[in-house]
Chain A
Amino acid sequence: MSSRSTMTPARTRTPFTLKDLVLMVVLGVVFGFLYWALVQAWTGLSILMGPAGDLAQHFLLGGWLLVAPIAVAIIRRPFVGIIAEVLASVIEVVFLGSAVGPILFVAAALQGLGSEIPFALRRYRSFGWGVFALSGLLGAGLVFLFSAFRFGWYGQELFILRLVVQLASGVILGGLLAKVIVEALAKTGVVDNFAIGRDRIGKA
């Protein structure tokens, strides 16, 4: 523990740079747009998602978690996951016009918090498959509690099914897929000027 002051650079104290903030926004914009493009491409999907949406949402939930672990793995600072996820929900509600309304900000904050906890426990230094998987699991699990309260899932016969599907989606789409995307991004070199690039170059 005593090595903390030498191991952790002063950057945790300084406010976020504009570059980091814009990166978080960009992630929210890109994933918000891709979802929109997906719905445009398969109009049937959006119509189907209506009646089936109540159950189908659990399969797709992991996709909403992506922004937080990607942002945390690139910027490697506290609160990045929460801020990135909330910014993504702002884009969704304000600029893309989601009818879920501003309650989405709360859900997003919880998702971001859940996704970020595993990275925080490893002090933003460990980014292996296990941490990402746990990140997806916690992100999906934490927001499940809130959604269950919102939609009164407690007392439903489908409760366990909902939970299992959502957690699995969180691990696969919101955890492991995030790791794949982060590695691919790092390989292209576009994130070399962020913390992830500094750490990579430092190791090499």
Chain B
Amino acid sequence: MSAGIEPRRFTDSPLGRRNPTVKLALLFAVSVALLFVFDPVTPAVLYLLALAAVAATARIPARILLLAHVPFVGFGLGLLTVNALSRPGTPLLEVAGLGVTAEGLTVGVSLGLRSMVIGVLSIGFIASTDGVALMTSLHQHARLGVRMTYAVLAGYRMLQEMPAEWQTIRSAHQVRAPLRSHGRPRSGVRSFGRSAFALLVVSVRRGERMAQSLESRGLGLGPRTTWRPVPLGRADWWLALGVLLVLALVFAAGEALGFREGHELLFARGAGA
């Protein structure tokens, strides 16, 4: 029934068989490490490595992998433009009265590439990970409480049904709405807001019923067994070790070859400031 609200998953792949908690933690580690990078070379190298790794291990069809790039390539380009135009520094050239600076361009390219590294890894993670398996794994391996786990899973179920629910509410509202001169009901911010509020109320009510039925079955009273436990094996540790090793190598190479730069680049003002 779901009208494509979820991203497509390809869980039968080498990356798909790895433990979801480990993958999530690694993605988080890479994201945090990249916060301290403001040169263009480090994220460029990492992007190529990440793209190669995801393409080789996640078995995502090339077309889907490419299409999934669209949102964050757009966002990356925005970061690039804004930084190139709005950062003080050595002027390179003038575009329509706005000066492009060398520092701005460097930082802009770096930030744009950073969003692409995280973007491509996120695609790899999401496309190779089943949502329910992730929550089960977080419960098993990351000590997420059983009630929290089930609350999120209940929300997940709700989310899957929400496009249909939304369509029902929209149709019901439109049937009763006054028609405009060309015979169609008006659709604008107000009608969107009205439907949105109806959806909120219906969902809150349904959530309360869900919670009651889970509680009446004794959820959270005692220890539970897990249906379809998620494995955590030696291959997962190898994956973690490999990713962290590559990350450390790229950073070390950056230090050795002198291309890595951190926050100090933001304040290194050029002559034309």
Question: Which residues of A are at the interface with B, using a C-beta cutoff of 8 A?
Answer: 15-19, 21-26, 28-30, 32-34, 36-38, 41, 46-47, 49-55, 87, 90-91, 93-103, 105, 149-152, 154-158, 181, 184-185, 188, 190-191, 193
CB-CB under 8 A from B27, the residues of chain A are 101-102
Is there a chain A Cβ closer than 8 Å to B197's Cβ? yes
B12 to chain A: closest CB distance in Å?
Answer: 18
Closest residue on chain A to residue B120 by CB atoms: A99
Given A33-B5, A101-B118, A185 and B201 touching (CB < 8 A)?
Answer: yes
Asked if A50 and B201 make an inter-chain contact with CB atoms under 8 angstroms apart, the answer reads no
Docked complex: B66-104 residues within 8 A CB-CB of A: 68, 70-75, 77-79, 81-83, 86-88
* Beta-carbon contact of A34 and B122 below 8 Å: no
Listed residue (A18, A53, A95, A190) with the most chain B CB atoms within 10 angstroms of its CB: A18
Contact: A22 with B7, CB < 8 Å?
A: no
CB distance A190 to B78 under 8 Å?
A: no
The B interface is mostly helix, strand or loop, or mixed, namely helix
Q: Residue of B at shortest CB range from A56? A: B78
Given contacts A22-B155, A28-B155, 20 further A-B contacts (CB under 8 A): A16-B147, A22-B207, A23-B204, A24-B151, A25-B154, A26-B155, A26-B158, A29-B162, A33-B159, A53-B74, A91-B159, A94-B129, A96-B7, A99-B122, A101-B28, A101-B118, A101-B121, A103-B28, A158-B82, A158-B86
Asked if B212 is at the interface (CB within 8 A of a chain A CB), the reply is: yes
Shortest distance in angstroms between A103's beta carbon and chain B's nearest beta carbon? Answer: 4
A94 touches which of B31, B79, B82, B134 (Cβ 8 Å): B134
Docked-complex contact A18 and B147, CB < 8 angstroms? yes
Query: B71 touching A25 by the CB < 8 A rule?
Result: no
Tell me, rounded to whole Å, the shortest Cβ–Cβ distance linking A16 to chain B. 7
Which A-chain residue is minimally distant from B196 (CB atoms)?
A34
Closest 6 CB pairs of A and B: A50-B74, A97-B7, A25-B155, A54-B78, A26-B207, A21-B151
Secondary structure at the A interface, as helix, strand, loop or mixed, is helix
**Bound Cα distance from A105 to B31, whole angstroms:** 11
* Residue of A98, A152, A190 with most partner-chain B CB within 10 A: A152
A184 to B77, CA, bound (A): 40
Given contacts A99-B122, A184-B197, A190-B205, contact A152 B155 (CB under 8 A): no
Contact B71 A50 (CB under 8 A): yes
Q: What are the residues of chain A within 8 A of B44 when measuring CB–CB? A: none
Question: CA A156 – CA B134 in complex, angstroms?
Answer: 39
Interface positions of B from 8 to 22, Cβ below 8 Å from A? none
Binds A, one of B51-59, B213-221, B230-238, B243-251: B213-221
The answer to whether A50 and B75 touch across the interface, beta carbons within 8 angstroms, is yes
B266 contacts A152, C-beta separation under 8 Å: yes
Instruction: State which of B78, B115, B129, B147 has its C-beta within 8 Å of the C-beta of A21.
Output: B147
Contacts of B82 in A (CB 8 A): 54-55, 156, 158
Expressed in whole angstroms, the Cα–Cα distance for A24 and B152 within the complex equals 9
